[in-house]
Amino acid sequence: MPHRNAPLTETGRPRPARCVVEDGWPLRRAAERFQVSPTTAQRWSGRYREFGEAGMADRSARPFRSPRRPPTRTERRIIKVRPARRWGPARIAHLLGLAPSTVHRVLVG
């Protein structure tokens, strides 16, 4: 567990951001001083400039969208073929040009 004022905690992030935004430090100087990469210092400075102290809070790592889920249209096509042909996931996948695992996930889930 890092100490309270470590550079990568919620309380440590505003320090380099304040130096860049409010005090006019060069980005590289602030990054060196607080032992973070210039990219990280730039990200924190941008968030501080846009959102203030609230932008320094930890954020969720959850993606905005789920890349594993097939489009609704594809799901409908799979579900439509299943009762008409009485095929399993592998044959439906071949017919529709999809991965068998995708078809199976739609049929089971």
Q: Which tens digit of pLDDT belongs to each residue from 4-28?
A: 666 678 888 899 999 999 999 999 9
pLDDT at 58: 83
**Does the pLDDT of residue 1 top 60, yes or no?**
no
pLDDT at 3: 66
Burial zone of 105 (CB within 10 Å; 0-12 exposed, 13-18 middle, 19+ buried): middle
pLDDT in tens, 39-51: 999 999 999 999 9
Cα–Cα distance list, 19 to 47, 49, 62, 70, 94 (Å): 13, 11, 30, 46, 59
Instruction: Look at residue 2 and tell me if it is in a domain.
Output: no
Domain extent for 92 = 72-108
Q: Are residues 52 and 79 in the same domain?
A: no
Instruction: Look at residue 63 and tell me if it is in a domain.
Output: no
Q: Are residues 48 and 18 in the same domain?
A: yes
Instruction: Look at residue 88 and tell me if it is in a domain.
Output: yes
Between 47-51, 65-69, 93-97, the lowest mean confidence (pLDDT) is in: 65-69
Instruction: Look at residue 9 and tell me if it is in a domain.
Output: no
**Number of structural domains the chain divides into:** 2
pLDDT at 91: 97
Q: Are residues 18 and 52 in the same domain?
A: yes
